[in-house]
Structure formats: structure tokens, C-alpha cells
Amino acid sequence: MGGFDWEVIRTSLPYLFKVGMVFTLTLTVLAMAGGIVFGTLLAMMRVSGLRSLGLLAGTYVNLMRSIPLVLVIFWFFFLVPYIGAWILREPRPIPVGTFYSALITFTMFEAAYYCEIMRAGIQSIPRGQVWSGFALGLGYWQTMGHIVLPQAFRNMLPVLLTQTIILFQDTSLVYVISATDFLGAASKIANRDYRLVEMYSFVAVVYFILSFGLSLLVRRLQVRIAVVR
């Protein structure tokens, strides 16, 4: 095996970060944004009091939460080209590429988790807030958009960010569809140069620093929000 080779890490830094980490962070941020939007819509369906809507959203959420993420990633990767072809009425499967396939997967998957967070957030807003919005003549969407959701989002911000840290780590699972995310990039170099120990240790350290640093920030944010309320 030989000694720990720092050099391989140093020379692969540009590739690891400019290609791998950019992929990972872009995927994380876009899936978070999409997941929160979609998850909030699901949450609104679940609290709407309309049975059919609630059942639909509930089924979706429970389904997503009961299947291993790796399976969903695989499944979407092979299915999305066919679904795309079906929607666009093309005779052949449409190549989507690993990035967009992963983005769609993570958005759909994380939406189930963001949904439950936003649902708790919405339910934490006193009924009187909705009443006072309605009493002023605001409609359902106005009351949601101006009064309920901003407060729910704000109250749940620490939890939403914590979920995003989990998402950030979970994106490494895209290696199963051979995407070049941070882990994927490292693993390619590890296998090329037979430097598994160095590369996987380095990857672990980077994931730890970023995740732990972010969770410290979230904790500080939590304290601030608690004081303002």
C-alpha cells in the first residue's frame, strides 16, 4: 500500500471541486428549492381538509418515504427517458442525462420530507391568523401566501435546513448512476490511481466539515429565531 499520498489529493483538487463539488452543490440547492416548493404544495393539499386531495398527497408522501432512495434514483434514471418520450409523444426514449435525472429524483423524493416539515409548520400557525386574514377579505391563496406560509416557513427554517444537510449527504448516492458528483469524482481518481484510502478519507473529511459547519450555523439561527418570536 505504501504511505499516505498527499500528492494525489493535491493534484486532483481542481477536478474534485470544480467538477464534483459543483455538481453536488448545484444538485443540492436546486433540489432543495424544488423540493420545498413541491413539498409546500403537498402540505397544503394535506391540510386542505379536502379528502381526495389529502389522500393523494398522503399516498405520495408515504410511498416516497417507504422506498429506499437508491431505488428511486435507479428507477427514475431508467424511467424518466420513457416518461419524457410519452409526454412529448416521441417514439424513442429521450436522453435526460444524469444531472437532470438526479435533479428530478431528488426534488420528488425530498418533497415528501419537506412536505411533512411544512405541514407541521402550517399547523403550528393559530387558526385565528387564518380567520383574521379571511375577515379582512383576503382570499384563500392570499391568506396562505401572505400570512400562513411566511410564518410557517420562518418557524420551520432550522428544520428545513437540517433536512437540506441530509439531502446534501444523500446526493452522494448518485454514484449508482455513474454521475460525477463530489464522491463520484473522487472515486474515479481513486480507482484510476489506486489511491482508495487517500481519496475516500479526504471525501469523508470534506463532507464532515461542510455538514457539521452548516449544522452549527443552523443552531445559531435557531437561537435567533427563538429570541425574535
Interface with another protein (CB under 8 A)? 126, 128-129, 131-139, 142, 146-147, 150-151, 154, 228-229
Q: Tell me the C-alpha distance between 17 and 112, whole Å.
A: 30
In terms of CB distance, is 3 or 126 closer to another protein? 126
**Residue 143 or 171 with smaller CB distance to another protein:** 143
Choose between 154 and 219: whose C-beta lies nearer to another protein: 154
Determine the Cα–Cα distance for residues 18 and 182; give it in Å rounded to an integer.
9
For residue 149, the minimal CB distance to another protein (Å) is: 10
**Are the C-beta atoms of 15 and 187 separated by less than 8 Å?**
no
- Coil, strand or helix: which one is 214? helix
CA 159 – CA 13 distance, rounded (Å): 32
Instruction: Report, in Å, the least distance between residue 187 CB and another protein.
Output: 45
- State how far the Cα of 160 lies from the Cα of 179, in Å rounded to an integer: 26
Please, what is the minimum distance in Å from the beta carbon of residue 126 to another protein? Answer: 7
Shortest Cβ 210–another protein spacing (Å): 30
Check: CB of residue 7 under 8 Å from CB of residue 173: no
Query: Which lies closer to another protein via its Cβ, residue 132 or residue 191?
Result: 132
3-state secondary structure (DSSP) of residue 184: helix
Closest to another protein by CB, 34 vs 133, is 133
C-beta of 97 vs 150, nearer to another protein: 150
How deeply is 158 buried, as exposed, middle or buried, from its count of CB atoms within 10 A (0-12, 13-18, 19+)?
A: buried
What is the SS3 assignment for 67?
Answer: coil
Shortest approach of another protein to residue 117 CB, angstroms?
18
The distance of closest approach from Cβ of residue 133 to another protein in the complex, given in angstroms and rounded to an integer, is 8
Report the C-alpha gap between 182 and 17 in whole angstroms. Answer: 7
The owner of cell 433536512 is: 163
